[in-house]
Amino acid sequence: MQVLSTIQEMRLACRAVRQSGQSLGLVPTMGALHAGHIALVRAARAQCDVVAASIFVNPTQFGPNEDFAKYPRPFEQDCALLEGEGVALVFAPQPGEMYPAGASTFVEVGGVGDRLDGASRPGHFRGVATIVAKLFHIVGPDKAFFGQKDAAQVAVLRSMVRDLNFDLELVVCPTLREPDGLALSSRNRYLSASDRARALVLSRALDVIAATYRAGEKDVARLLETGRSVMATEPEVRIDYLQIVDADTLLPLTEAKPGALVAIAAYVGGTRLIDNTILR
Ligand code: PAF
């Protein structure tokens, strides 16, 4: 496995893969890898000849009071995991490599980029879209792999790929969960034992909404009320948003339908967690 830190080295290595006629899959990450990331790598290996992963804690997607500085960076451990999974290329640049002094061009995905996390974390999706567009240009993958856990990010990146004519396929892999329902997240490692127990309320609320929908309730206000009453059982968990939206536009629905996205973000202690489910 090659670990590359400059854009020039990464470009050359990816170009060589493409010129050899092999397909290239990209798994963009911020490191602190867990089984969810490994599932993305495995999907990439199953669908592409060669897999590249990036490890970059992207400063532009963090707000001024967010966890950029304390975001976990177990770099050696991450590289060992990726090597064990057969990743061929790891791109791990420093911030100055991706954003040299004077860099002033950003990718703004209008509309969808301002909803859900885009509304709660102004500038977040501008940072995500910008770094992912840059990675797409540097790597030139045939396919790029993202987790459904970040459903709003998926909607934003789908719009960007469509609007900017990126010649690649976005592959979205299912959310992985702990046996008790907690969605895997790099931020779970911030949780104390008691907060971790409280955090289960997010998936419980989503499950209750999905079950109520399956039982025949279509009215979004009433569905959300069932979710809020579950959330109320953990008064120390503060809801940031709980919405039922169209999965592509992220616009709120009044009547639930198959394929609708139920998305939640909540603060558990000082940690902001997100989770979602699709109504079937
Ligand atoms: O999902 C993430 O880990 C990040 O938002 C991504 C896509 C790697 C961009 O920094």
Is the beta carbon of 28 within 6 A of some atom in ligand 1? Answer: yes
Burial class (CB in 10 A: 0-12, 13-18, 19+), 205: buried
Note whether 22 and 50 are within 8 A (CB): yes
Per-residue pLDDT tens digits for 161-175: 999 999 999 999 999
Full-model pTM: 0.98
Task: List the beta strands (DSSP E) in 30-166.
Answer: 50-55, 89-91, 143-147
Burial call 128-162: b when 16+ CB within 10 Å, e when fewer: bbbbbbbbbebbbbbbbbbbbbbbbbbbbbbbbbe
Residue 119: band (very low, low, confident or very high) from pLDDT cuts 50, 70, 90: very high
Residue 191 in tokens: 């949780």
Q: What is the mean pLDDT of residues 148-157?
A: 98
The preferred substitution site among 58, 117, 121, 145 for testing ligand 1, maximizing ligand atoms within 8 Å of CB, is: 58
| Location of each CATH 3.30.1300.10 domain in the chain | 186-275
Residue 116: band (very low, low, confident or very high) from pLDDT cuts 50, 70, 90: very high
Per-residue pLDDT tens digits for 48-63: 999 999 999 999 999 9
Of ligand 1's listed atoms, the one at least distance from the Cα of 132 is 9
Separation of CA 57 and ligand 1 centre (Å): 8
Per-residue pLDDT tens digits for 183-225: 999 999 999 999 999 999 999 999 999 999 999 999 999 999 9
Is the beta carbon of 150 within 6 A of some atom in ligand 1? Answer: yes
Q: Which residues pair with 183 in a beta bridge?
A: 177
Name which CATH class applies to 2-173. Answer: alpha beta
Is the beta carbon of 30 within 6 A of some atom in ligand 1? Answer: yes
| Location of each CATH 3.40.50.620 domain in the chain | 2-173
Residue 247: partners with Cβ closer than 8 Å, 6 or more residues away: 151, 155, 259, 260, 261, 278
Residue 7: band (very low, low, confident or very high) from pLDDT cuts 50, 70, 90: very high
Of ligand 1's listed atoms, the one at least distance from the Cα of 147 is 1
The preferred substitution site among 150, 172, 173 for testing ligand 1, maximizing ligand atoms within 8 Å of CB, is: 150
Separation of CA 115 and ligand 1 centre (Å): 17
124 catalytic, yes or no?
A: no
Residue 79: partners with Cβ closer than 8 Å, 6 or more residues away: 1, 3, 55, 90, 92
The single-letter DSSP state of residue 102 is T
Q: Which residues pair with 252 in a beta bridge?
A: 245
The pLDDT assigned to 128 comes to 99
- CATH superfamily of the 186-275 domain: Pantoate-beta-alanine ligase, C-terminal domain (3.30.1300.10)
